[in-house]
Amino acid sequence: MVDNFTNRYKKKARIDKRKAWILKLRIRKPVSKFMRVCCLHFAEEDYFYRSKDFKKRKKLKNTAVPSNS
């Protein structure tokens, strides 16, 4: 998936979602598919709620990129 992302020169660029996450989180080691990001790195508007079995569960939107580092 490709998203728009503002680079360090303040210009919009289209990059891979995985690369956007790596840039925002400033990860300096090799990234594996087993790594996780906690909810503190996301804003409230990055989630949507779905109710299932009478429980409200937060789910991360597909367009969410970590904003709080």
Tell me: the pLDDT tens digits for 23-60?
A: 888 888 898 889 888 888 888 888 887 776 556 778 88
Check residue 10 and give its pLDDT: 61
Check residue 21 and give its pLDDT: 83
**14 vs 21, more confident:** 21
Check residue 9 and give its pLDDT: 61
Check residue 11 and give its pLDDT: 62
Q: Which residue type is seen at 45?
A: E
DSSP 40: G
- Per DSSP, the chain holds a count of helices (H) and strands (E) of 1, 4
**26 vs 2, more confident:** 26
